[in-house]
Homo-oligomer: A and B are copies of this chain.
Amino acid sequence: MSLSSALLENAVDQLASLPGIGRRTAMRLALDLLRREPQEVARFSEAIRRMRDELRYCEVCCNISDEPRCAICRDPARDAGLICVVEDIRDVIAIEGTRQYRGLYHVLGGVISPMEGLGPDDLNTQELMDRVLRGGVREVVLALGGTLEGDTTGFYLNRRLTEAGVLVTAIARGISVGSGLDQADEVTLGRSIADRKPYEQTIRR
């Protein structure tokens, strides 16, 4: 696809570098931006550059934060002995949305993925170990995705954290509340049977 303009071609290439955005979609986005006022596009462009250049991470949990410590780590009402390990900020938002969790977080910034060349050193694993070794942590909950990468990351962290003498737990896998058995995949269904619990403990509260 020759676009008769190197400027357009370059912008389309950059937009198409985003995950899930093909060249056709990138072209549609570029044409949308072209129809806007120049100041509006300058604000768009500037918001992205500033995010990358100026965004800071919480010095405790590695969550995204404009201040040295994030609002969750600063909250004295939260249980500092309990750390929930997640892949990225989207998971923090999702768990906070449940209003069921009152501990702190640790954001890994990804999962171990040999395919993408991501090893433990590319993630915030050392920061997690340092936190645990400083003491005061009673339990670490692994809340990682049910993918191969999530499992690999969980396996690695469990080994290191157990060595450090802390209790390691993982979020429950099972049938979604409100969903039928026929909608679940075999692995999840199998795991939900293996992990069965006394009936009284499973009643919705």
Contact = CB atoms under 8 A, between A and B. Distances in A.
Given A3-B93, A4-B63, A45-B46, A20 B28 contact: yes
Interface string A14-36: 11011111000101111111111
A64 interface: yes
A14 B3 CA distance: 25
B55 A48 contact: no
A49 B10 CA distance: 11
A37 B93 CA distance: 25
A181 interface: no
A43 B14 contact: yes
B45 A3 contact: no
What does DSSP make chain A's interface, helix, strand, loop or mixed? helix
Given A14-B43, A27-B90, A46-B45, A36 B52 contact: yes
A130 to B, nearest CB: 22
Contacts of A110: 35
Given A28-B20, A64-B3, A65-B5, A10 B90 contact: no
B52 A38 contact: yes
Given A44-B48, A45-B45, A48-B14, A66 B20 contact: no
B18 A51 contact: no
A7 B54 contact: yes
